[in-house]
Structure 1
């Protein structure tokens, strides 16, 4: 297959931990052609197909100079066998527009994973609300009084912006309510911006677990991201320590209830975040942690993903 990745600049990849790189490596290992572009290099002229400036890549196997570019062409997006949307958040206006270009490419015959429509329909914080039975008490509002009432009810809460990633903008407000007013004003910007609040889960001390749902199935290992140094955030970008663990039976039951529903909507890869046995986020834009799990457990998540991609494309795993 000829696979096009729509991603951040490949020059910025930290290949020792980058999940998109792990996908590329596994695809090339199986004999597939790997190509890359960025959202800024896609365009659509009236009466013509969506095109992209595309680099054909050859992975070298070296830590430095890890790829070469045998050729670079302007090509219709639908001319590739599969398109993998791997652009990192934020889910801003340009990301939104990119999903529309990719959806047009789908109408022209492209196979895009994750589905552009599904990316728009499942914002990573809000999509949790559909599965409230598996989540902690949660409210999404721009109303400061409602956030204060939520704290008065639950006493110890987490507040976070809807468009954050990597743990940015996350606050904990405890029983004493210290700085609640200032935090609410900072996050909701005087009522202009929506905020998510959740009851604090003390199980965070054992880690914020990233489960990977691939083709409607659950990977058998998770990455527990454990807060360090008094932090409330386990995110790796915020200094959390990643520890690969076998998937627990309790977490499996929750994940297996959710995974088929999301897969049926065109979400080939989902990062389900759980604290204890409760789901706190559903990540669909560019889920990560493949390499951390492989390095510590030996389970090849990238191989599981490419197996699922090959099946989705109507073939059998190589």
Structure 2
């Protein structure tokens, strides 16, 4: 297959842990050819298909100069066998516009993973609403009063912005309500911005688990991202320790209940976040943790992904 990867600049990749790099390495190993571009390189003009300024690349196997450019030029997206949308969050206006360009490319014959429409329809915090039976008590609102009532009911709560990533902007407010007003003002910007509020889950001490749903199936290992020291957040981006572990029976049951629905909508890869037995987020833009799980358990997550992609293209 001839595969285009739409992602952040290649020079920013930390190849020792980057999931997109792991995907590309496995795909090249199977004989597929690779090209890369950034969302800013996408273009549409009346009378022409969606195209991008792409670089045909080959992975070298080296740690530093890990790829070489074979050719650079503008190419129509529908001429590729598959397009992988792997731009990291945040889901901002430019990401939104890119999904529309990619959806037009689909109308022209391109096969895009994850589906651009599904990316728009499943914002990573709000996608949880559809599966509320598996989630902790949750509130999404702009109202400071509603947040105060939620705190009064649940006593110990977590507040976070809807467009956050990597643990950014997450706050905990305990039973004393200390700084609840100030935190609310900071996050909702005087009522201009919606906030997600969830009941605090003590099981966070055992980690914020990332489950991988690939092609409608559940990978057999999770990465538990465990907070360190006095830090509340387990996110790897803020120093959490990633510990791979087998799926629990509860993890599997919940993931297998959710996975087929999301896969049927064109979400080839989903990162399900769980604390204890509760789903806290559903990540679809650029789920990670392939390399951490593979390195610690030996389970070949990139191969599972490549198998699913090849099956989707068959």
Offset at residue 183 of structure 1 (A): 0.2
Quote the residue 1:41 is aligned against.
41
Secondary structure of the equivalent of 1:232?
Answer: coil
Aligned to 1:98: 98
Match of residue 243 from structure 2: 243
Does residue 1:219 correspond to 2:219, yes or no? yes
Q: Which runs of structure 2 are paired with 1:257-276 in the superposition (5 Å)?
A: 257-276=257-276
State the partner residue of 2:84.
84
| Alpha-carbon distance in 2 for matches of 1:230, 1:271 | 26
* Deviation readout 1:69-115 (Å, 9 max, x if unpaired): 01111100111000000000110000000000000000000000000
Partner of 2:161: 161
Deviations 1:189-238 (A, max 9, x none): 00000000000000000000000000000000000000001111000001
Give TM-score, length-normalised by structure 1: 0.98
Structure-2 residue corresponding to 1:308: 308
Q: Provide the residue aligned with 2:15 in structure 1.
A: 15
Measure how far apart 1:6 and its partner are. Answer: 0.4
**Alignment coverage as a number of residue pairs:** 314
Give the Cα separation in 2 of the matches to 1:56 and 1:250: 43
**Aligned positions of 1:1-318 closer than 5 A:** 1-314=1-314
Distance 2:204 2:140 in 1: 21
The gaps in structure 2 that reach 5 residues or longer are none
In the TM superposition, residue 160 of structure 1 has moved relative to its aligned partner by 0.1
Deviation at 1:47, TM superposition (A): 1.5
Q: Provide, for residues 25-49 of structure 1, a one-character-per-residue CA deviation record: whole Å limited to 9, x for no partner.
A: 0000000001100000111011110
Partner deviation per Cα, 1:135-179 (whole Å, 9 max, x = no partner): 000010011100111000000000000000000000000010000
CA distance in structure 2 between the aligned counterparts of 1:179 and 1:215, rounded to whole angstroms = 43
Q: In the aligned structure 1, how far is the partner of 2:284 from the partner of 2:111?
A: 17
Structure 2 CA distance for aligned equivalents of residues 202 and 231 of structure 1:
13
Return the alpha-carbon distance in structure 2 between the equivalents of residues 250 and 25 of structure 1. Answer: 32
* Structure 1 runs of 4+ with >2 Å offset: none
> How far 1:271 sits from its partner (Å)?
0.1
Q: Give the TM-score normalised by structure 2.
A: 1.00
Distance in 2, Cα, partners of 1:48 & 1:74: 12
Query: What is the alpha-carbon root mean square deviation over aligned residues?
Result: 0.4
What residue ranges of structure 1 are gaps of 5+ in the alignment?
none
Supply the distance in 2 between the matched residues of 1:184 and 1:154 (Cα, whole angstroms).
16
